Amino acid sequence: MSTNAPASGSMTVSTSTSTNTPTAPTTAPTAAKRKYDEIVASFPAPTAKKKKAKRSPNAARSTPERFDGMARYLTRGFHPFMDIGLVLEEGCEHHWGTAVSDTPSKTVQVPASERLQQVRRVAAFDEMFSLAPDLLDVVKLLFAGFESDPDSWNAFVTTMRASANSGRVGDTGGLKHMLNYVLPDTTKYVLVPAIAKGESKSSRGLAHPILRHLILGWTDRLKLPCLDLPTIDPETGKILQTLPAPADTSPNEYLDRILNGNVEISNDELPSFLWAHGSFDPDNYDKGLLRGELLLRVVRHIWTAPSSAILGPEDEIPAVCQARIHGKYMMTPEMIGCAAVQARTMLSTKDWRRRDGAFNYETLHDQVVALFSGLPGDEWAVDTLAWFQRMVFGDSTPSGEEGGLDRPHPSPHLPPPLPPLLDTSRRCFPLKQFRLIKVSTIVVILFVLVRIILPSFNIHGSLCILGTRARIIVFQHFARSLLPLASTTTTHRDIKLK
């Protein structure tokens, strides 16, 4: 007996050969059935226009409102591009679907890459329902009753997709004109040229003399003249400097390429806005990484309200904010990854999309999350999450609630999550890592060949011209390329030696 996950829009769930056996349970817990009827009754008629639901306090949120909140959480707290329809279908199939037959002829072979995506979607399902475990029985009823009532399941998936998209659109729209978030100190610096609300985004990105520095990776940013941000006179409030003044005014070939439209940004490097202002050290790639002012303020804007973005929450978390609505008071790598995508979209000339030229936003999200996926207890990862926790939530208690900011306990309804099939800490590395490995391998092979052909050739003396640091990098990456098992513990940050 096999069960296939329902496809979006039109779903098919195969059951046993007996067609008279109802799929939906004949009885259901009273509370679950009541919530089931409530969510089904909330589905709009085919010709009816969907009314915008008013936000109610958490304590009085109805079942449809709680499902709406869960859908919005997915795109702001787990993955901004994940299809919630597939999340629901594959999550239900994993927890309640009939096991696939062991007969080889009846087993569907899924590619490893797709299997990994399925594991991630099941993890997203578990994460969503950890916020509202009592709603699992409602979804189970909807899923189990698909054969007898497919319209209810289809309407549920459609509604959840609309809610997830609405939450993402709301975050993007609210952040679009908050460009003062890019300034290290909003009382000292100012964005010049200013970008007014309603102005086209064509003046952003590489076209803007300040934003271009933030959107580039550090390798390219260092090719530009060093930027001095325009400052404000603290007494008069007047701008002391009308245009960003580079310290070096000599001709700059890379800047000319930017102005001529001959530079395309890819995911080879993380954008430099992810580092705290003035903290980047090419010899210490970790320093200031993921502590950029823009990134922190975007996280606060989304989770503890725009009013807290610059200075952070005061004595308590506001009564109306996303953290309060979702019951989420602990920072996760996925929350930081979602905020990084929103921050990069703010700086871009393009509105929300998966790709901006050669730059892939989904890859950016996965790269940020992968930074935390190294060895357990990685000092940088632990310290960075603790820093975000302190800077976003501090020691605050949610307004109107008692107790600390403990993560909600896992639901007893949820089985243990599936173990990852692949080491996710290496799946999103920039291409430059692999290019460096290839180049270093070739360099070492050439030296060995020359040594064989010319026995008198002094390899050590020749390597000295590369410099001590370069020799270390060459042999380090050559060793990693020959020992894949040893390289699985390498993080993205390790490869940025120069």
Give me the residues paired with residue 232 across strands. Answer: 239
Per-residue three-class SS string for 411-465: CCCCCCCCCCCCCHHHCCCCHHHHHHHHHHHHHHHHHHHHHHHCCCCCHHHHHHC
Query: What is 241-290 written as a DSSP string?
Result: -SS---S--S--HHHHHHHTT-----TTS--GGGBPTT--BTTBTTTTBT
The CA-CA-CA angle for residues 484, 489, 495, to 5°, reads 85
3-state secondary structure of 215: helix
Pairing outcome for strands 355-356 and 359-360: antiparallel
Cis before 22? omega within 30: no
Sign of CA dihedral 273, 275, 279, 285: negative
Q: What is the pLDDT of residues 208-230, one digit of tens each?
A: 999 999 999 999 999 998 888 88
Q: Is 123:417 a contact under the CB 8 Å cutoff? A: yes
State how far the alpha carbon of 60 is from the alpha carbons of 56, 205, 276, in Å: 6, 43, 40
Q: What single letter denotes the amino acid at residue 450?
A: V
Name the nearest CA neighbour of 208 among 223, 189, 227: 227
pLDDT at 383: 95
Name the nearest CA neighbour of 293 among 387, 199, 169: 387
pLDDT at 160: 97
3-state secondary structure of 466: coil
Q: What is the pLDDT of residues 366-375, one digit of tens each?
A: 999 999 987 7
pLDDT at 89: 94
pLDDT at 242: 59
Residue 151 CA neighbour count, 13 Å, CB half: 6
pLDDT at 385: 94
**DSSP structure class, residue 491:** -
pTM above 0.85, yes or no: no
Which residues touch 493 (CB under 8 Å, ≥6 apart)? 285, 286, 289, 371, 380
Q: Is 364:340 a contact under the CB 8 Å cutoff? A: yes
Q: What single letter denotes the amino acid at residue 106?
A: K
pLDDT at 425: 35
If one counts every other C-beta atom within 10 angstroms of the C-beta of residue 51, the result is: 7
Give me the residues paired with residue 142 across strands. Answer: none
State how far the alpha carbon of 422 is from the alpha carbons of 296, 373, 380, 419, 425, in Å: 30, 11, 22, 9, 9
pLDDT at 370: 94
**Regions of the chain with pLDDT less than 50:** 1-5, 7-26, 28, 56-58, 99-102, 397, 399-438, 460-498
pLDDT at 264: 93
Token pair recorded at residue 348: 């871009």
Helices 84-96, 136-144: inter-axial angle, 10-degree rounding? 80
pLDDT at 456: 56
